């Protein structure tokens, strides 16, 4: 038997120690009805999810030295439906903020939406065409703190107006923490988002672009969300929206964000785009 050498996307011992208690608690709360114990470790399942996110492959193309794709798929969907992906992301976010000398939860967030092309297998009922950017597919909305760490994710058809994305994100932010008092958005978001924020006790400020600026000019603080999008897209599974269910895309965004934060917390360099 050939010894498994592992992949650059595998979690290290130090990284696994950060998330293992959460996954172990989830598994302990759901004992097998037959008493059977899975022959595959939860760490191996996480390795497979991270590999797929980075490589962008389909389920059936997962390497043979990782758990069978049907096993990985089962746990991925279970964790998605139980919100474990978001729980892990939130745990890591608070730890990254604490390490930076900040409070666990932010007082300011930045919202944005990005339209992404959808693959051919994605149901037409959950996609649309962004009239402004002329992108047929889905719209990925995220709320990040001043460090660019994800707090909330929303995935809808690309034809959905930014107002709906913004209000949904604000609702998720308010449900996750009561500390947020200010939200910055770009000019794609309108009065409806401002009014919804006021109802939640969040002051939504529309950051207007200077009309004299030519090309892309980073806006103070708001550029953090652009940086986050640029980092997330290094996960090849996110370069297009391949998922039949928008919630699956949300889960992949949470896992991608968790991967980034695990590296921040352990001082691990990300594999290069060309090298991995």
Per-residue pLDDT reduced to its tens digit, 208-258: 766 666 666 667 788 899 999 999 999 999 999 999 999 999 999 999 999
**Which residue did the predictor score with more confidence, 188 or 11?**
11
- 105-158 confidence digits (pLDDT tens): 999 999 999 999 999 999 999 999 998 888 899 999 999 999 999 999 999 999
Q: Where are the domains of the chain?
A: 106-243
* pLDDT one-digit tens code per residue, 27-43: 999 877 555 567 789 99
β strands within the chain, DSSP E: 108-117, 128-130, 135-144, 150-157, 182-185, 203-206
The CATH classification number of 106-243 equals: 3.30.420.10
Q: Is a pLDDT exceeding 50 seen at residue 14?
A: yes
Q: How many CB atoms lie within 10 A of CB 275?
A: 6
Gap between the Cα atoms of 109 and 146, Å rounded: 6
Q: Give pLDDT, residue 33.
A: 57
What six digits make up the tokens of 228? 């986050």
* pLDDT given at position 270: 65
The proportion of the chain whose per-residue pLDDT surpasses 70, expressed as a percent, equals 90
pLDDT on residue 55? 95
The average confidence (pLDDT) of the chain is 91
The confidence band for 3, taking pLDDT boundaries of 50, 70 and 90, is low
**Contact by Cβ (8 Å): 128, 153:** no
Nearest Cα residue to 50 out of 272, 230, 267, 236 = 236
Cβ atoms of 148 and 227 closer than 8 Å: yes
Residue 132's pLDDT is what?
Answer: 83
Mean pLDDT of the region 169-182: 96
* Burial zone of 53 (CB within 10 Å; 0-12 exposed, 13-18 middle, 19+ buried): buried
pLDDT interval class at 269 (50, 70, 90) = confident
The whole-model pTM stands at 0.91
82: confidence class by pLDDT, cuts 50, 70, 90: very high
Sign of the torsion angle spanned by Cα atoms 137, 124, 247, 259? negative
Alpha-carbon Rg of the chain, whole angstroms? 19
């Amino acid at each position: 038997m050939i010894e498994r050498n592992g992949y650059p996307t595998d979690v290290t011992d130090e990284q696994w120690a950060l998330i293992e208690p959460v996954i172990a608690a989830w598994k302990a709360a759901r004992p097998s009805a037959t008493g059977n114990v899975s022959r595959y470790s939860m760490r191996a399942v996480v390795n497979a999810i991270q590999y797929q996110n980075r490589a962008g492959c389909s389920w059936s193309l997962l390497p043979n030295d990782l758990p069978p794709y049907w096993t990985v798929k089962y746990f991925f969907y279970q964790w998605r439906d139980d919100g474990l992906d978001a729980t892990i992301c939130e745990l890591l976010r608070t730890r990254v903020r604490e390490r930076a000398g900040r409070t666990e939860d932010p007082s300011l967030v930045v919202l944005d939406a990005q339209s992404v092309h959808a693959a051919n297998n994605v149901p037409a009922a959950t996609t649309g065409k962004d009239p402004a950017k002329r992108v047929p597919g889905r719209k990925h909305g995220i709320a990040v703190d001043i460090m660019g760490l994800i707090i909330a994710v929303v995935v809808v058809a690309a034809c959905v107006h930014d107002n709906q994305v913004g209000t949904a994100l604000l609702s998720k932010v308010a449900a996750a923490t009561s500390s947020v008092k200010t939200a910055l958005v770009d000019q794609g978001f309108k009065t409806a988002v401002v009014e919804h924020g006021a109802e939640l006790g969040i002051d939504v400020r529309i950051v207007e672009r200077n009309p004299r600026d030519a090309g892309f000019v980073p806006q103070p603080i708001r550029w953090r969300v652009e940086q986050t999008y640029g980092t997330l897209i290094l996960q090849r599974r996110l370069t297009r929206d391949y998922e039949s269910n928008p919630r699956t895309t949300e889960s992949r965004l949470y896992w991608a964000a968790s991967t980034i934060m695990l590296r921040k917390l352990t001082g691990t360099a990300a594999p290069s785009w060309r090298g991995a």
